[in-house]
Amino acid sequence: MLLAFHKPFDVLSQFTREHPTHHTLAEFGFPRDVYPIGRLDRDSEGLLLLSDEAHWNDLLLNPRHGHRRTYHAQVDGRITDTALNQLRAGLDLGDFKTRRCEAALLPDDPGHPPRDPPIRFRKTVPTSWIELTLTEGKNRQVRRMTAAVGFPTLRLIRVAIGALTLQRLGLTPGKWREITAEESRLLTASERGSA
Tell me the pTM.
Answer: 0.92
Q: Which of 10, 33, 41, 58 is catalytic?
A: 41
Q: What are 61-89's pLDDT values in tens digits? A: 877 777 889 999 999 999 999 999 999 99
Q: Tell how far CA 43 is from the center of its chain.
A: 11
**pLDDT for the residue 189:** 65
**pLDDT for the residue 194:** 43
- Ranges of beta strands (E only) in the chain are 2-7, 35-37, 45-51, 69-76, 102-105, 127-134, 153-161, 164-165, 176-178
**pLDDT for the residue 120:** 79
Asked if 172 and 6 count as a contact pair (C-beta separation under 8 A), the reply is yes
**pLDDT for the residue 188:** 73
Residue 41 bears catalytic tag:
yes
Kindly indicate whether the domain formed by 68-161 is annotated with CATH number 2.40.10.10: no
Identical fold for domains 1-66+167-195 and 68-161, yes or no, is yes
**pLDDT for the residue 185:** 80
**pLDDT for the residue 190:** 54
Query: Where are the domains positioned within the chain?
Result: 1-66+167-195, 68-161
Residue environment code for 101-116, b if the CB has 16+ CB neighbours within 10 A, otherwise e: bebeeeeeeeebeebe
- CATH tag for 1-66+167-195 (out of 3.30.70.580, 3.90.1300.10, 3.40.50.300, 3.40.50.1370): 3.30.70.580
Show pLDDT as tens, one digit a residue, over the chain (195 residues): 999 999 999 999 999 998 999 999 999 999 999 999 989 999 999 999 999 998 888 888 877 777 889 999 999 999 999 999 999 999 999 999 999 999 999 988 999 999 988 887 777 789 999 999 998 888 899 999 999 999 999 999 999 998 889 999 999 999 999 999 989 887 876 554 443
